Structure formats: structure tokens, C-alpha cells
């Protein structure tokens, strides 16, 4: 498997000349794998009902502030009737699934097969664990089946998911559901950079800053999701 190769071997393999037949055969079979992931995701998630996707670092340890924050947010949201979708792995993902599990709600895990870090956590409902090989298919599921997004401290993966949600709303490809960044100290510098660089240099508009909100506590994040649903007279239908 390619994941068992060294980085140099992977580079050499990428540069190897392939015949048109080899390229066509590989890509054709790849399409079927991608389609199968979409089909499984659509079939399982389409039946779940209103959910909130929670993003955050896989490296946050149990008992840490970030872990407790993820668990608390998920627990409170679940008690309000929302299902919780996470990336299915450890860290904040585990914390959020744990909060949903012990609140008696729906706990969904969209696991990605990686050579490190990503092992499904034990707090996902067995019938709501889906494994993916492709990040882009997994992100479609995060966005399509959530009616709100909570972003906790994380790394590149969390940033990728956060900006995916923001971009989809900005370009009107996604309904303007709440996108909430939690932890002012952690995200404050990024938000300031967005305001002082992207906005000032006309890379975004002033209205784009309203796509997301920055809060400091779990309760504030939950209140934003709840207020959105009250405004539009919507209720979770579990």
C-alpha cells in the first residue's frame, strides 16, 4: 500500500511514467470507490435529522480545557435535541461524541483512514460510524448534514473544515447556518488578521465578517445555535 512507502518512495512513484491504459484503469476504479463513499454517507446521514458538526484537534487530551469544552458543548446541544457530528477520532472529536453519548443523543463519527492519530473513538453510535478514504467526500458530509458548525481549537484539519464552511456560505453554496468559533484567546489572532489584512486589502467584504461568530464559553456557543432555530421557528425533529 502507498501508506507503507517512505516519502521518497512516494515521490518517485508519483514521477513514474504511466501508460494511458494504466491511468484510465486506475482513475476509473477510483471513481467507484468515491461513489461508494458518497452513497454510504448519504444513506446513513439522510435519516439522522438536525445535527451540529463540531470541529477540533485530535491531539487534545482527556481532561484538558479544550476536551472539557467540546464535551460540554456537545452535551448541552444534545439536551436541546441536536445530533452531534464529529470526525470520529480522538481529542475534541472524542469529547464531543462523549458528550452526545452521555446526554442520550445521536453521536455520529465520520472517520478518516490515516496512518496516524485517527482511530474511531468508543462514543460513536455503532450504526452512525462511517469510514472514509477521501477527505473531500468526508467534508461534503460535514457540510451537507449539519445545521450549525462549532469550531474549537485545532490545527490544519480544523482550519480546513472551518474555512470550507465559511467559503460555502460566502459563495451562497450553503445555507447561512451558524458558524461559531469557540475560545477568544485561541482564535482572536486569526480573526484580527482577517479584519486587518483580508478586509483592509479588499480580499473580503465587510458582510463576510458576519458569516462567523467568536465566543468564549460553551453556553454562548449553544445559545447562538438555539437562537438561530428560535428565530426561524425550527425545532429538532428527533
Query: What is the per-residue DSSP string for the chain?
Result: -GGGS-HHHHHHHHHS---HHHHHHHHHHHHHHHHHHHHHHHHHHTTT-SEEEEE--TTPPTTSHHHHHHHHHHHHHHHTT-EEEE-SSSTHHHHHHHHHHHTTS-EEEEEE--SSS----TTS-GGGEEEES-HHHHHHHHHHT-S-EEE-S--HHHHHHHHHHHHHHHTTSS----EEEE-HHHHHHHHHHIIIIIITTTSS-GGGGGSEEEESSHHHHHHHHHHHHHHTT-----
Residue numbers of the domain that contains 209: 18-231
Is pLDDT at 73 greater than 80 in this prediction? yes
Is position 236 within any domain? no
What is the mean pLDDT of the segment spanning 114-143?
89
Is pLDDT at 120 greater than 70 in this prediction? yes
> Which tens digits make up the pLDDT trace of 139-150?
999 999 999 999
- Provide the CATH number for the domain around residue 41: 3.40.50.450
Is position 68 within any domain? yes
Is position 135 within any domain? yes
Average pLDDT, the chain: 89
Is position 52 within any domain? yes
Is pLDDT at 135 greater than 70 in this prediction? yes
Domain count, the chain: 1
Amino acid at each position: 500500500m502507498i501508506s507503507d512507502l517512505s516519502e521518497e518512495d512516494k515521490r518517485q512513484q508519483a514521477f513514474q511514467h504511466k501508460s494511458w491504459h494504466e491511468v484510465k484503469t486506475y482513475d476509473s476504479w477510483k471513481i467507484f470507490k468515491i461513489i461508494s463513499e458518497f452513497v454510504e454517507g448519504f444513506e446513513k446521514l439522510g435519516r439522522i435529522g438536525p445535527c451540529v458538526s463540531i470541529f477540533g484537534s485530535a491531539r487534545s487530551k482527556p481532561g484538558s480545557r479544550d476536551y472539557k469544552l467540546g464535551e460540554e458543548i456537545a452535551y448541552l446541544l444534545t439536551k436541546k435535541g441536536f445530533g452531534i457530528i464529529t470526525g470520529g477520532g480522538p481529542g475534541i472529536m472524542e469529547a464531543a461524541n462523549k458528550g452526545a453519548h452521555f446526554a442520550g443523543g445521536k453521536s455520529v463519527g465520520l472517520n478518516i483512514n490515516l496512518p496516524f492519530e485517527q482511530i474511531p473513538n468508543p462514543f460513536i453510535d455503532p450504526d452512525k460510524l462511517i469510514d472514509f478514504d477521501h477527505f473531500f467526500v468526508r467534508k461534503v458530509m460535514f457540510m451537507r448534514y449539519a445545521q450549525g458548525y462549532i469550531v474549537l481549537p485545532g490545527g490544519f484539519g480544523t482550519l480546513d473544515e472551518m474555512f470550507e464552511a465559511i467559503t460555502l456560505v460566502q459563495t451562497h453554496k450553503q445555507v447561512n447556518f451558524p458558524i461559531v468559533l469557540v475560545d477568544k484567546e485561541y482564535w482572536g489572532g486569526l480573526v484580527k488578521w482577517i479584519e486587518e489584512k483580508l478586509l483592509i486589502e479588499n480580499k473580503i467584504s465587510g458582510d463576510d465578517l458576519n458569516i462567523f461568530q467568536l465566543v468564549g464559553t460553551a453556553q454562548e456557543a449553544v445559545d447562538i445555535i438555539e437562537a438561530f432555530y428560535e428565530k426561524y421557528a425550527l425545532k429538532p425533529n428527533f
